[in-house]
Amino acid sequence: MRIPAPDQNVSTKKWTIPDLVDFEYFLSSTDASMEQQDRRIFLEAVKPRLAGQPPWSTPQRRSALRLWLEERRVSSRLQEPQAVLPGEVFRESRSILLMLVAAIGLLSGGAVALPLLIYTGKSAVNVTMYLGVLVFLQILSLLVMLRFLFFKTSMGSLKKRSLLYLLLGRLFERISAMVARGVADRTEIRAAAGPLRGMYVIYGQILFWPFFAAMQLFGIMFNAGAIGATLIRVFTSDLAFGWQSTLQMSPEGVHTLIRTLAIPWTWLLGLHSYPSLAQIEGSRMFLKEGIASLATGNLVAWWPFLVSAVACYGLLPRVVLWFASVAGERLALARVRFTHAGCEQLILRMQSPGISMEGAPDGSPSFNPAPVTPVSTETMFLALTDAAVLIPEDIIGRCDSDELDRHLAVRLGLKRTELLPVSGSITRDGPAIQKAASQGHDDDSERAVVLVQEAWLPPIAETVELIEKIRSCGGRTMRITVLLIGKPAQGTILTPVRPGDKAMWNKALAGLADPYLSVTTAGDA
């Protein structure tokens, strides 16, 4: 039955965070029964709309996966009309959180400003204290935030991502490590934590921006609350403003400072932008003398300057940073390339022509591999990725390179460029790993490494170290595939794998939290 098409007006290129949440949810909930549906979605909804574009370029990949997501959403709603998708939960939760942050910020701004505006008739509102708390302290907090969120600890270098992102990542990793040590005998929990850390590796920089935007929204509403409280007090009561300081500051020095601060709004307010030198001299308070001798005109001349200072140095920067956070989130979303292991497996499921690579069950006395149809990149709508293959040295002599090439192309979308033996020793295998990881390319997104392993042998620490070494040599986003095989049979090494062996390897490697690492089999027994 044809899956109903999604809204044709939906953008196939624009992604949002709720889209990513739903995308990962559907990826994680895909089982064998959904593979045919993924293939049908590709043939009926994806391929017709993207025909004529370069095969699986980054823009086309983003568009194709967006169409797949919309089809899966439609299918999910048809099956369970009352079900709520995780993306909707995220969107609503984020909206509620932002409303709470806004309310708390507004109340906090008013609560901070009102005590600074107390006037008893004997002592004027201290302008110095007001400016110190609501202007200078905010300027300092903005500088500290920009310094520690966007700059390296070595001065002068702009980071590709915020320091806060790195700190949160390290904290998350330490907490995960502590949990793992605490449940060292429960491999299921450690394996479940791996994909979560992997999602943080892929999308952690994107999720920084909603947090940053919430900070700016708090700042916007805090300043709005402070300005609102000030104006309410000015318009509903008779306030007197004066200045004093333990520091021996002359009225001329204060006038110069005030005039400099008022430059951004002088063009708008003119003579009311800041107090004149005479008004500054006439509003200076001295200890024990009170304000009885000060003229009223001088005492009320400060409030336009104070409100303007909070608006310019407190509210305006937060508004600018709010828009910067929105732009930063969009830019981060636009940079997602969807090349991690889950996406690669989905793409291959959508494009796979359904060729069977399975043979006789493990342990059969004879093994006759099923004939394989030659690969046609036009039929598969697939651009093959160069891949180096690392294979244990004790079975490389029995490997049929043509059979391996067909399997890599049909099942993994890869084109073999190297076939290198490994022993399992990091010291001995170093040159082979380095050669496999480089392959003459500069962009780690254009190459892959396949590590062939016998599934019936349990993964040991040396195997994990070998994978970590491949990752360190190949870069953070290079595709690594562990190809599990059963016990080699006569004429082939691509024998089926028992489900229990595959589950054991999946559980062991999930703890690496590597989203660009996938585990596949030559076939299930």
State the Cα torsion 349-352-354-356 to the nearest 10°.
-90
List pLDDT tens digits, range 467-516. Answer: 888 988 888 888 899 999 988 777 788 888 888 888 888 888 887 878 88
What pLDDT score was predicted for residue 137?
93
Distances (CA, A) of 161 to 126, 151, 158, 205, 328: 41, 9, 8, 7, 11
Angle, vertex CA 400, rays to CA 372 and CA 439, nearest 5: 100
Structure tokens at 84: 């709520």
In three-state form (DSSP H/G/I as H, E/B as E, the rest C), the secondary structure along 66-101 is HHHHHHHHHHHHHHCCCCCCHHHHHHHHHHHHHHHH
What pLDDT score was predicted for residue 125?
86
User: Which residue is associated with the tokens 């043509």?
Assistant: 402
Structure tokens at 160: 């590709």
Q: What is the mean pLDDT of residues 284-308?
A: 76
Confidence band, pLDDT 50/70/90 cuts, at residue 153? very low
Confidence band, pLDDT 50/70/90 cuts, at residue 11? low
State the Cα torsion 45-46-50-55 to the nearest 10°.
-160
What pLDDT score was predicted for residue 366?
41
List pLDDT tens digits, range 312-342. Answer: 999 999 999 999 999 999 999 988 888 888 8
Structure tokens at 123: 């002592």
Instruction: Provide the b/e sequence for 236-249 (b: ≥16 CB within 10 Å).
Output: eeebbbbbbeeeee
List pLDDT tens digits, range 55-91. Answer: 667 788 888 899 999 999 998 888 888 888 888 998 9
List pLDDT tens digits, range 399-450. Answer: 888 888 888 887 887 888 889 998 888 888 888 888 888 865 555 457 889 9
**Cα distance between residue 482 and residue 492, in whole Å:** 18
Structure tokens at 350: 């959508």
| Residues 7/80, Cβ–Cβ less than 8 Å | no
Residue 163 pLDDT more than 70?
Answer: no
Q: Which amino acid is at 288?
A: K
List pLDDT tens digits, range 191-243. Answer: 444 445 556 667 878 888 999 999 999 999 999 999 999 999 999 888 888 88
User: Which residue is associated with the tokens 């392993």?
Assistant: 453
User: Which residue is associated with the tokens 């002088």?
Assistant: 266
For the chain, domains (ranges, CATH) are 17-83 (no CATH), 91-334 (no CATH), 354-521 (3.40.50)
14 φ, ψ to 5°? -85, 125
Residue 106 pLDDT more than 90?
Answer: yes
Structure tokens at 151: 């700059």
β-strands 125-126, 414-422 pairing:
unpaired
Residue 189 pLDDT more than 70?
Answer: no
Candidate from 94-103, 118-127, 286-295 with smallest mean pLDDT:
286-295
Tell which residue, 472, 424, 470, 463, has the closest CA to residue 448.
Answer: 470
Adjacency order of strands within the sheet including 447-454: 414-422, 385-392, 447-454, 479-485, 517-521
> Rounded to two decimals, what is the model's pTM?
0.74
**Cα distance between residue 344 and residue 61, in whole Å:** 10
Q: How many percent of the chain have pLDDT more than 90?
A: 26
Which residue has better confidence, 426 or 262? 262
Burial of 518 (0-12, 13-18, 19+ CB in 10 A): buried
**Cα distance between residue 442 and residue 372, in whole Å:** 33
Q: How many percent of the chain have pLDDT more than 70?
A: 74
Structure tokens at 116: 């600074």
Confidence band, pLDDT 50/70/90 cuts, at residue 152? very low
What pLDDT score was predicted for residue 168?
54
Residue 151 pLDDT more than 90?
Answer: no
Structure tokens at 252: 């001329």
Length of the chain: 525
DSSP one-letter code for 35 = H
Residue 36 pLDDT more than 90?
Answer: no
Most confident by average pLDDT, 41-45, 116-120, 312-316, 404-408: 312-316
β-strands 385-392, 447-454 pairing:
parallel
| Residues 341/32, Cβ–Cβ less than 8 Å | no
Q: Which residues pair with 518 in a beta bridge?
A: 481
